[in-house]
Amino acid sequence: MLEFLARRTLAAIATLFVVIAAVFFATRLSGNAMDYMLPPGVDVETRQLMVKRFGLDQPIWVQFFRFLQGIFSGEWGIGLYERRSVVTIYAERIPNTLQLFGYALALSVALGLPLGVVAALQRKNLIGSAIMTVAFVGYATPNFVLAIAMILVFSFNLHWLPSSGDATSLHFLMPAIVLAAPMLAEIIRFARNSLLDVMGQDYLRTARAKGLPERLVIGKHALRNAAIPVVTVIGLQVAGMVARCVLVEAVFATKGVGDLIVFATIGRDYPVLQFGVILIAGLVVITSLVVDVLYAAIDPRVKVTAS
């Protein structure tokens, strides 16, 4: 187990390095920050002075080396717009995004698993079909369409929910639903399919044959085995949720990491953007690791080894 973790950690570091290099060069290829930061009309000399001040006049390899040096010494850089540490900037935003993630994850799992089970057990009647139709629509609807539609219905027309901001937990309800929708749909689909796969297995027939009640057959034998692919899907969806929160936070004006990344991308705020992408990459890598470890916990047949 320890050897496995060590190898995976090394692989994660290598992945992060590739991400760091990619984001560093990609952001610089997309344009000069000063072309976006300074208002149109600022004279050329001032632009050049600002470029020099932030070290952007140095060869790109020198900039990259300095950036790596900064990472190893714990200096993640200063936001070009706010002129303060990117760690401080993100520290202000992370709680909102985590709150949003938490609600969305809880909503997806709490609703997705039981609905998936019901869809599997009731697959031949209207309930099963209805659940799968909702799941299909939820999966197929782009999140920005769902976000605007929800705002129109629940805020603009019914005045039930606040449309933007982060003042109370209620402000997170609509963004969490929008963020959760594709994940919920995916969990329902996978929970249903994987349960159907398992239900045809011999060991379930054996369980029934020895007289176990159906509740235990499903709850103890079927669900546990069906859970493995579902955990994989949840892991993948957490990564996808990070990407989706970029748009959801922008639409609902939730002051989170996603909104910050949009702002930094438009303004080519390299340090803020780099830190954000590294943060997301780190989260994805850690999630993958956690999913791998969870396999072992769920299925004793799976051995976590170095191979």
Candidate list 15, 85, 122, 164; residue touching other proteins; CB under 8 A: 164
Contact characters 270-289, other proteins, x per CB under 8 A = --------------------
Residues 70-99 that bind other proteins (CB under 8 A): 79, 81-84, 89, 92
On the 0-12 / 13-18 / 19+ scale of CB atoms within 10 A, 144 is: middle
Question: For 228, what's the count of Cα atoms within 13 Å in the CB-facing half-sphere?
Answer: 14
Q: Which is nearer to other proteins, 166 or 186 (CB)?
A: 166
Contact characters 138-157, other proteins, x per CB under 8 A = ----------x--xx--xx-
One-letter amino acid of 165? G
Does 42 contact other proteins by CB under 8 A? Answer: yes
Does 241 contact other proteins by CB under 8 A? Answer: no
Least separation, in Å, of the C-beta of 79 and other proteins? Answer: 8
Contact characters 15-34, other proteins, x per CB under 8 A = ----------------xx--
12 in Cβ contact with 285 (< 8 Å): yes
Does 58 contact other proteins by CB under 8 A? Answer: no
Q: Which is nearer to other proteins, 33 or 234 (CB)?
A: 33
On the 0-12 / 13-18 / 19+ scale of CB atoms within 10 A, 74 is: exposed
- Three-class secondary structure of residue 85 per DSSP: strand
The residue among 189, 219, 184, 186 whose CA lies nearest residue 204 is 219
Q: Which is nearer to other proteins, 152 or 216 (CB)?
A: 152
Q: What are the angstrom distances between the C-alpha of 61 and each of 4, 17, 21, 82?
A: 34, 15, 11, 25
The C-alpha angle with vertex 280 and arms to 275 and 284, in degrees rounded to 5, equals 145
Does 36 contact other proteins by CB under 8 A? Answer: yes
What is the rounded CA–CA span in Å between residue 264 and residue 249? 14
Q: Which residues bind other proteins (CB under 8 A)?
A: 31-32, 35-36, 38-47, 49-50, 53, 79, 81-84, 89, 92, 148, 151-152, 155-156, 159, 162-165, 250-253, 255, 263, 266
